[in-house]
Amino acid sequence: MNGTDVKRADSPSASILTLALPKGRLFEQGVDLLARAGLRVHLPEKSRALRHRFVQEDGEVVLLELRNSDVPTYVDLGVADAGMVGKDVLMEAGRDVYEPLDLGFAPCRLSLIRERGATSPILRVASKYERLTAQFLRDRGLAAEVVKLSGNIELAALTGLADAVVDIVQTGSTLQANNLEEIETIMHSSARFVVNRTALKLKRERLRPLIDRLRDLVERTSTTG
């Protein structure tokens, strides 16, 4: 460590590690994984608080509770030093963040979905994943319109709002319950650990050991099942 690094590590901002976690599906597992990786964090009491501070031996960890799709923005713009986010959402965001780790949990796939047996031409496709859908259609040479929706996407295919939808399939129970069919898998997804590129340099002493411990945990889980 040179003189500059010593100063950085001692500066107030270097002693705070800010992590962006999506509320919803990934939050509990994300906090649990961070705790198992040695951070003194725990699930916060139920409240409307969106920012949670935890004192550590080497400073402080701040957890920001965000919408899934906002995690890449907070990490890319450096407000959060690192975070956890689904690969699907990360690809959709198209942000330039460092992605050192596949955390393995929250597996699912992004797929093109239609009503079972539908044969009409695909002229309009609805999705929350507007960019990935447009890219997929371009790759297939399909000139369909993309309609951005915010939730219960499958309903668009059932009501005729769209000829097909692009959405997440996990267990397949939503497809089954609505007489829908998965036509093509566009990508597989799982939760990723993402890091701001500048923070990786400036807060190296805190981020590198965390990444290493998370990697150990993920590898141990994948070998023990």
Ligand X SMILES: O=P(O)(O)OC[C@H]1O[C@H](OP(=O)(O)OP(=O)(O)O)[C@H](O)[C@@H]1O
Distance between CA atoms of residues 219 and 49, nearest Å:
33
Look up residue 204 and give its two tokens: 């190296």
Binding ligand ATP (rule: CB under 6 A), the pick from 125, 168, 180, 217 is 168
Under the criterion CB under 6 A, does residue 108 sit at the interface with ligand ATP?
A: yes
What does the per-residue mask of binding to ligand ATP show for 33-72, with x meaning CB under 6 A?
----------------------------------xx----
Question: What angle do the packed helices 204-224 and 27-36 form, to 10 degrees?
Answer: 100
Q: Residue 174 CB, nearest distance to ligand X (Å)?
A: 3
Please choose which of ligand X, ligand ATP, none residue 86 contacts, taking the beta carbon within 5 to 8 angstroms, the exact cut-off set by kind.
ligand ATP
Distance between CA atoms of residues 93 and 99, nearest Å:
13
Contacts of 28 (CB under 8 A, 6+ apart): 43
Stretch that binds ligand ATP, among 22-30, 138-146, 203-211, 214-222 (CB under 6 A): 22-30
Q: Are 216 and 104 in contact (CB under 8 A)?
A: no
Distance between CA atoms of residues 9 and 14, nearest Å:
5
Binding ligand X (rule: CB under 6 A), the pick from 92, 167, 196, 199 is 167
Binding ligand X (rule: CB under 6 A), the pick from 6, 172, 198, 205 is 172
Stretch that binds ligand X, among 84-92, 113-121, 139-147, 161-169 (CB under 6 A): 161-169
